[in-house]
């Protein structure tokens, strides 16, 4: 299966278990891998035969800068589902959400959740 990778998308959202996270907000990063057949686009050079990367970014922005949730797992699941819904050409997607500098004791670089979801019937 062919893959399109959109990596290093940066957002500022208000998600977390602690009240301070919801009040002050923080950075989040997203990487997505979209599995699909890219041959039609490769042959035709037609954007309508593939996924528009700008729309992938806007979909991620809507989720990560949108409604506040507690868990990175929830953000990740919502983004995967939104991508599959928005782009019928996608057979499966892998979504990784990174939360740098989590407010937990000790020195941590980041926490992340990565999931892979397939379209039903694939």
Residues annotated as catalytic (active site), given as ranges: 99
Beta-carbon contacts of 95 under 8 Å, excluding residues fewer than 6 positions away, are 30, 31, 32, 76, 79, 80, 83, 114, 115, 116, 117
Distance CA(108)–CA(122), nearest Å, equals 38
User: Which three-class secondary structure state does DSSP give residue 78?
Assistant: helix
Alpha helices for 2-71 (secondary structure H): 19-24, 39-44, 53-64
Both tokens assigned to 38: 């890219």
Please give the Cα distance from 61 to 3 (Å, whole number).
21
């Amino acid at each position: 299966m062919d893959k399109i990778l959109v990596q290093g998308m940066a957002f500022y959202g208000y998600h977390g278990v602690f009240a301070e996270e919801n009040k002050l907000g923080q950075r989040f990063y997203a990487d997505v891998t979209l599995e699909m057949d890219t041959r039609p686009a490769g042959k035709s050079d037609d954007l309508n035969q593939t996924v528009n990367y700008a729309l992938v970014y806007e979909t991620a922005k809507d989720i990560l800068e949108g409604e506040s949730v507690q868990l990175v797992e929830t953000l990740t699941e919502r983004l995967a589902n939104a991508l599959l819904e928005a782009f019928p050409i996608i057979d499966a997607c892998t979504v990784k959400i990174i939360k740098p500098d989590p407010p937990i004791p000790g020195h941590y670089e980041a926490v992340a959740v990565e999931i892979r979801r397939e379209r039903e019937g694939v």
